[in-house]
């Protein structure tokens, strides 16, 4: 893209300490207390895209209480909660669910292509925050969690475990890769292929009844990406966290855009046809392509904007007890693309 480089200036840009640009381990650890009010478990109410399409291996701890609700015709009378029924004067039943061993793998993209942002966060920061929220929530539910941190030249792997120490190791690897991102980093020819390599490694681990979460802008996604995701979706639940920048859908036709990494800034001329074309091709088209995979993959697509706070978006899309078709977007892929 045409543009010019100049030293970064302005509040919050000095020293690369801005949390919108780079994350730190303490910030990711601090999200543990906020990882509540949403649920990745497959035993959500009927109608959720993650409502448990397949039987999972039972963990053997019996039944877990889910809720008390009003009696409906067809409910097993043995599930009646007589205390609540007597107190309210209306029949109520106690709903339980089988506890399941539901290990999870989180694949988080920290390649150079993720080091871009125009409104709030770098995409890499939003993906890191999503990883922390997901890992803490899954661990809090009592399930094993591990993952892959994908960079331009390497893939870091943390074996799934039901352990706080394991989550801390994953987040430490993630923070290290995130802080290594820089606008001055050289272009790495192997980078686009690293996502597919991580997916193929994940497919060898997640054989059945896993939750696999992929958090990426899907730069370099191709037919091999689709094949790997198809393989993973057979017997597992897949969530694709499509991290995008608002500029993907809102490319102004004039003016100048300044982007930076805390040290250097690039000024882009939005009146340039080449800039317009590049932004559209790397943003909106990719977004629509990934959303079009949703039904073919039997996977959930979670478009998440780097231009908004991360946690409110997660709560809106995965709020416990209130899941909707298309992860809260209310419609299928086409409408999701419009709203994204």
- Give per-residue pLDDT as tens, 34-78: 998 887 644 433 333 333 334 333 344 455 566 788 888 777 888
Judge whether 228 and 57 are in contact, CB under 8 Å: no
Q: How far apart, in whole angstroms, are the C-alpha atoms of residue 166 and residue 58?
A: 23
CB-count burial class (<10 Å; 0-12, 13-18, 19+) for 169 = middle
pLDDT band at 278 (very low <50, low <70, confident <90, very high): low
Q: Which of 240, 221, 253, 241 is nearest to 305 (CA)?
A: 241
For residue 150, give both structure tokens.
């994908």
Its pTM stands at 0.70
Closest CA to 230 of 289, 326, 294, 291: 294
Write the pLDDT tens digit of every residue in 142-169: 899 999 999 999 999 999 999 999 999 9
What are the boundaries of each domain within the chain? 3-46+102-339, 60-100
The residue behind tokens 């882009």 is: 268
Is the domain spanning 3-46+102-339 CATH 3.40.50? The answer is yes
CA distance 6 to 82: 72
Query: Tens digit of pLDDT for each residue in 64-122?
Result: 566 788 888 777 888 899 998 999 999 998 877 655 568 999 999 999 999 988 889 99
- 8 token code pair: 């970064």
CA atoms of 214 and 301, how far apart (whole Å): 10
């Amino acid at each position: 893209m045409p543009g010019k480089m100049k030293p970064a200036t302005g509040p919050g840009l000095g020293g690369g300490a801005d949390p919108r640009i780079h994350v730190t381990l303490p910030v990711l650890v601090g999200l543990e207390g906020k990882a509540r009010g949403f649920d990745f478990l497959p035993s959500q109410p009927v109608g959720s895209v993650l409502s448990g399409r397949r039987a999972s291996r039972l963990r053997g701890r019996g039944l877990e209480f889910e809720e008390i609700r009003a009696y409906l015709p067809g409910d097993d009378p043995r599930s009646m909660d007589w205390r609540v029924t007597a107190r309210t004067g209306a029949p109520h039943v106690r709903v339980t669910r089988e506890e399941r061993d539901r290990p999870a793998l989180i694949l988080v993209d920290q390649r150079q292509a993720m080091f871009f942002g125009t409104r709030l966060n770098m995409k890499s920061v939003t993906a890191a925050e999503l990883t922390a929220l997901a890992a803490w929530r899954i661990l809090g539910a009592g399930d094993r969690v591990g993952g892959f941190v994908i960079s331009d030249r390497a893939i870091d792997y943390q074996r799934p475990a039901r352990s706080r120490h394991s989550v801390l190791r994953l987040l430490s690897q993630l923070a290290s890769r995130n802080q290594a991102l820089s606008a001055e980093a050289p272009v790495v020819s192997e980078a686009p292929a690293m996502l597919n390599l991580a997916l193929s490694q994940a497919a060898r681990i997640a054989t059945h009844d896993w939750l696999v979460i992929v958090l990426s802008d899907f730069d370099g996604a191709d037919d091999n990406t689709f094949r790997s995701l198809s393989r993973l979706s057979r017997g597992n639940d897949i969530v694709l966290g499509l991290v995008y920048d608002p500029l993907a859908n809102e490319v102004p036709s004039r003016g100048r855009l300044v982007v930076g990494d805390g040290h250097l800034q690039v000024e882009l001329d939005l009146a340039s046809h080449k800039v317009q074309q590049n932004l559209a091709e790397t943003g909106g088209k990719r977004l629509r392509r990934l959303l079009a995979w949703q039904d073919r993959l039997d996977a959930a697509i979670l478009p998440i904007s780097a231009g908004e706070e991360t946690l409110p978006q997660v709560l809106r899309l995965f709020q416990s007890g209130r899941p909707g078709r298309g992860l809260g977007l209310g419609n299928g892929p086409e409408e999701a693309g419009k709203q994204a």
